[in-house]
Amino acid sequence: MRFTSFILPASLVLGAFANPVPSPLEAFKRAGPARRTSHYQYTQKLVNTLNAAGAKATFFVTGTLYGCIHNQAAAVKSAYNSGHQIASHSWSHPSNFGSLSASDLKNQMQKLEGALNAIIGKKPTYMRPPYLATGGNVLPTMRSLGYRVITDDIDSGDWNGLSPAQSQARFSQAGAGGLGHIPLMHEVYANTVNTLVPWLINWAKQNKLRLVTVAECLGDAGGAYTTPTVAATRSC
């Protein structure tokens, strides 16, 4: 089984589970605002923890939700260079994402695309809508821009104050069977990086599960990126 997904100062999808296989794990990404001093302060530790376990993650990043993404370029590059998937979570994570016009949605996505062009030289083909909003113009606009829209089937609840033990219960309840899971976690929380992720890595190994990127989980390992359509931008 494969796991998938994390959110970089946004949402982190920690892995996608598929059928039991002999190897490692994946996935992180980010969701809503966190109360912290430096929103990327746990990113490198998370990357190191995943790398040591042979796990991969998907980092859904924003442009300005936790400060300008260009000030955090090293963290994004570190995750990318380690083989984790970088995906889009919109430019500013607007609370009304699901009711935005097609033009405003396009602006949200292309502003982040320009920034990621400058940071990793690629355009992600996967996105997670803020607040999982898929109504209104969201799906047709994302389709027209070439994005695959990702939600989740296990919400760790770290963004809502759940303890690691409570989050662990959600994973245990979901179980290790089936075709896989796309869970949601946020690497802006110390408990997620320091406690929940190590537990999940061990749990997956005990159940002979493999943590992979969202793209790999969906059978699209080579399709996580495409050539940018927007010029690189280096400021917010």
Q: What percent of the chain has pLDDT over 70?
A: 83
- Smallest CA-to-CA distance from 54 within 18, 23, 80, 21 is with 23
**In the chain, where the domains are located:** 2-226
Give 100-122 pLDDT, tens digit per residue. 999 999 999 999 999 999 999 99
- Smallest CA-to-CA distance from 147 within 215, 232, 219, 92 is with 215
User: What is residue 41's predicted lDDT score, i.e. its pLDDT?
Assistant: 83
User: What is residue 34's predicted lDDT score, i.e. its pLDDT?
Assistant: 34
Please compute the mean of the pLDDT values over residues 131-150 and round it to a whole number. Answer: 97
Mean pLDDT value across the chain: 85
The fourth-level CATH superfamily of domain 2-226 is Glycoside hydrolase/deacetylase (3.20.20.370)
Give 6-55 pLDDT, tens digit per residue. 544 444 565 554 433 322 233 333 333 333 345 678 888 999 999 999 99
- Residue 209 burial by Cβ neighbours in a 10 Å radius (0-12, 13-18, 19+): buried
Position 73, amino acid:
A
User: What is residue 10's predicted lDDT score, i.e. its pLDDT?
Assistant: 41
Is residue 213 a contact partner of residue 29, using CB atoms and an 8 Å limit? no
Residue of 1 and 227 predicted with greater confidence: 227
Q: What percent of the chain has pLDDT over 90?
A: 69
Helices 73-81 + 43-53 axis angle, to 10: 10
Q: In angstroms, how far is CA 54 from the centroid of its own chain?
A: 17
DSSP SS3 for 154: strand
pTM: 0.87
User: What is residue 38's predicted lDDT score, i.e. its pLDDT?
Assistant: 52
